[in-house]
Structure 1
Amino acid sequence: MAVSVVSLELEDFETLPLHSRRCVFWEVDRSGTSPAIDAVITSPSTTGDAVGPESEFDKEAWLSGLLLEWGVCCQVAIEQTTERVVGAAFYSPPGRVPRAQHFPTAPVGADAVLLTTIRMEPGFESEATTLFDAVVADLVRRGVRAVEAFGFSGDDESLAMDLVTLLLGSGMASDVCRRCILPTDLLTGFGFEVVAEDPYLPRLRLELDEGLGWKSQVERALQKLVESITPPAMADSVPQPVTCSASSSSAKV
């Protein structure tokens, strides 16, 4: 199942998978004043499965504002046969991500963009690397120095979840979306290195500046970028010298 990756435009917001379209764990701080998000968080779950704070209105508003002020902030993976969006990666200047300030390993470096989440639909998990490559290619093209992310190292053990809920959701499980925090192992697999240690919520960094050392992921992303803008190969024919026609050569001076 081949996928292609494109930057998300606001008019394509409705094509996002349901959870990516609704979850505002990163984008909205519960201590804020959004009535939409407060209504969702304080409503009990009908399934008993806490999926995190959801508000499609707030997610679209956040995306719209960031696209207008900063530019591309989401890459989406599209299954080529069905043209269905099967994955999304969101990234942003850290100041536009309210939840980031609650992490014990905050703040994010002033020279870095924050990768908040990469979420793939079932069956397409192996394409997460392709999606991340597109994020790196976009950031390199824009001259960004580094990308950082918060990882989760506690699996789903009850102690880890209790601590995460206390730190990030003020004790409310419904205010935390575990699905939208990237596993630390996934980030290290992408080439990130831990720059702020924590047993459960470390902060990791991937340098994108040549002076600080290239990562293999950056090289791969750059290669894809070069391939995407390289014009078709010119014909292999050898140019022939221009000669005067018989009529012109016989013309008298």
Structure 2
Amino acid sequence: MDPRLRPLAQDNLDTIHPGAATSLFWEMEPAARARVEKAGEQRFEKEALLAGRLTEYGTCGFTLSFEDVAATVLYCSPAEAPGARALPSAPVRDDAQLITSLFIDPRLLGRGLESVLLDSAIMDLTGRGFSAVEAFGLRGDVEYFAVDEEIDDVLSVVAQREEIGLLGVDHLEGAGFRVERDHPVLPRMRLELPPARDLLSAADIEMLLREAALVAPGR
């Protein structure tokens, strides 16, 4: 079976990346999130949140799945991501939508699939008439000891980067994002819509998916 790229829908929420299916960092305030985690109801709560978002907001992500591996990108309005307010370069501007997270199986890294998911989100948001999209990025070459503000909070976010689907600055820059509010570790990035650069074509996406299939587990 070849990998499939699909917008999130009510009938495919069970195919998203396991991290995307359980992480509530972006969707809930810390206190509420802690209560859900204590009760062990993360998956149930996340599915309910995504189902509600699909009904009220429309498409809010894309997922790519192949056999037992998956990758998922999620996005929403800033109001639906209260967890983002904890980041040092917050808040997101009112005129922008927010790409909160991108989860990808380690076996799919470095295959260009991050670009496929980001461009799919950008194309959808552009087609719906939004004027901008923002995201928080993690710098890959920072000296964390140089951060002199709320260091514990920043390092806590960094330590959870895989669990919360934190995007890398390099992937965001590759998608055309530029720094909107700088920070030595977690800058807020922005892309005006429609983007100035050309997005991946359908042929480009199909080629990357085929290449991923060749190296996927079981091949």
TM-score, normalised via structure 1 length? 0.68
AA at the equivalent of 1:96: E
Please name the residue that 1:28 is paired with: 28
1:194 is the counterpart of 2:179: yes
SS of 1:185 mapped into structure 2:
helix
Question: 1:102 maps to which residue?
Answer: 86
Match of 1:123 among 107, 117, 120: 107
Task: Give the whole-Å Cα distance in 1 for the aligned partners of 2:9 and 2:150.
Answer: 32
Query: Relative contact order, CA 8 A, sep 6+: which one is greater?
Result: 2
Which AA in structure 1 matches 2:72? A
Aligned-pair CA distance for 1:85: 5.4
Seen in structure 2, the aligned counterparts of structure 1 residues 176 and 61 have a Cα distance that, compared at 3 Å, is: farther
Q: CA deviation at 1:10?
A: 2.4
Compared CA separation, residues 138 and 182, structure 1 to 2 (3 A): same
1:153 Cα deviation (Å)?
1.5
Q: Which runs of 5+ in 2 are unaligned?
A: 204-219
User: Is the 8 Å Cα contact of residues 30 and 37 (structure 1) preserved in structure 2?
Assistant: no
1:10 aligns with 2:10: yes
**Is the 8 Å Cα contact of residues 25 and 175 (structure 1) preserved in structure 2?**
no
Match runs of 1:109-148 below 5 Å: 109-125=93-109, 126=111, 127-148=113-134
Q: Does 1:215 align with 2:196?
A: yes
Q: Gaps (5+ residues) in structure 1?
A: 41-53, 226-253
Partner of 2:137: 151
Structure 1 CA distance, aligned partners of 2:149 and 2:39? 24
Number of paired residues? 201
CA deviations on 1:201-238 (whole Å, 9 max, x unpaired) are 100001114xxxx422xx325x549xxxxxxxxxxxxx
Q: One-letter code of the match for 1:186?
A: H
Alpha-carbon distance change, 135 to 144 in structure 1, aligned in 2, over 3 angstroms: same
**Which structure has the larger Rg?**
1
Tell me the TM-score normalized by structure 2: 0.78
1:158/1:145 Cα in 2 relative to 1: closer, same or farther (>3 Å)? closer
